[in-house]
Amino acid sequence: MPKTEVILTHNIVGLGAESDQVKVAAGYARNYLFPQRLAVPLTHANKRQIEALRQRRADREAHEFNTMSELSKGVAKLICLIKVKAGEDGKMFGSVTSGVIADELKHQFDISLDKRKIHLEHPIRMLGEHEVELNLHAEVKGTLKVRVESLTPSAVPAPEVAPVGSKKEEGREPRREKPGHVKRDAKAEKAERPETTEARPKGEKPVEKPAKAEKTEKAAKAPKAAKAPKAEKKEKNS
């Protein structure tokens, strides 16, 4: 394929910048570069433009450096939130690519960033926070925090936090009151409740009442019956 040498008048990623002399396919130069005014043929007349192109290139690169330095400082304070579909076990359906991150930056923060400046060794396939490296400029690097969350909250259940000062009883459900049930005072229930006998160890026989108590009961009844004859005896003597 025949080649031709041209002078670039604009920065073309992967090919060169202003004032660079490069060789390209003749058809590519004729059908694309020349019509779009991105390059001019290498001639003695066009070589005079090289100094002007170099100055324009220096001004452009200085502006890009300052812009990307400011962008790097601003992006470091941001958290890009990305919602994805995930199962109940937290496993993602699909992955997060540099193109997805670039779209979310534009949507959430109105930051236009070429996805090729977002460096990912591998697509993100896990929920949580990730630090993504940004190649903003040849001399400017940056980092962006990306938080990947599930669209279904049940995918990663949050731990329950018990209120301060309360102890949760394990394995016991809260007591449910029946309809129409009136809650009574604990002291009133204790007063109405009959006294229960003391708990005794297992296998021990109940303590029998002493025989003396039975004798005292019989003795209490016996004197009443014995007093009657004495009264009759006094009447006879009188």
Lay out the sheet containing 3-8: strands in order across.
21-25, 3-8, 39-41
When pLDDT is averaged across residues 121-144 and rounded to a whole number, the result is 92
> Sorting pLDDT into bands at 50, 70 and 90, what band is 184?
low
Which amino acid makes up residue 168? K
- Sorted by where each begins, the domain ranges of the chain are 3-48, 73-155
Q: Which CATH superfamily is domain 73-155 in?
A: Ribosomal protein L9, C-terminal domain (3.10.430.100)
The answer to whether 42 and 5 have CB atoms below 8 angstroms apart is: yes
When pLDDT is averaged across residues 49-68 and rounded to a whole number, the result is 91
> Sorting pLDDT into bands at 50, 70 and 90, what band is 190?
low
Cα distance between residue 130 and residue 99, in whole Å:
16
Distance of CA 196 to the CA centre of its chain: 55
Tokens 């009883």 appear where? Answer: 169
Query: What is the pLDDT at residue 165?
Result: 42
Cα distance between residue 142 and residue 130, in whole Å:
14
pLDDT in tens, 192-215: 555 544 545 555 555 555 555 455
Reported pTM: 0.53
Percentage of the chain with pLDDT > 70? 63
Characterise 27 by phi-psi region: left (phi > 0), alpha (psi -120 to 50), beta (else).
alpha
Q: Examine the pLDDT at 33 and tell me if it is beyond 60.
A: yes
Cα distance between residue 16 and residue 150, in whole Å:
42
Of 68-72, 73-77, 152-156, the least confident: 152-156
Q: Which CATH superfamily is domain 3-48 in?
A: Ribosomal protein L9, N-terminal domain (3.40.5.10)
Query: What is the pLDDT at residue 89?
Result: 77
Q: What are phi and psi of 3, to 5 degrees?
A: -110, 155
